[in-house]
Amino acid sequence: MSYKDNETNKGKRWSTEEIDDLIKELNEKVAISDISTSHKRTEKAIELQGLNLAHKLLTTDLKDKRRCY
């Protein structure tokens, strides 16, 4: 069942499909309010998940660079 079929996703675990869609929307610079509506989550939840994804990306990138040195 897709996250889009739910009446609301507040308090529910983020699915892989939803995270993939969120990454795509953030990269395309879609407004947080629009993402919030399409994902049926609060704007704060979208912002926090975006920060979490950015943190994972940065720490992975730093680990890769350390391995090169």
pLDDT band at 48 (very low <50, low <70, confident <90, very high): very high
Judge whether 49 lies within some domain. yes
Judge whether 3 lies within some domain. no
Helix axis angle, 16-27 to 32-39, nearest 10°: 160
User: How many folded domains does the chain comprise?
Assistant: 1
Domain, as residue range, for 37: 15-68
What type of residue sits at position 32? I
Q: Is 63 helix (H, G, I), strand (E, B) or coil?
A: helix
Is the pTM above the cut of 0.75?
yes
Judge whether 58 lies within some domain. yes
Judge whether 9 lies within some domain. no
Give the pLDDT confidence of 13-41 residue by residue, as tens digits.
999 999 999 999 999 999 999 999 999 99
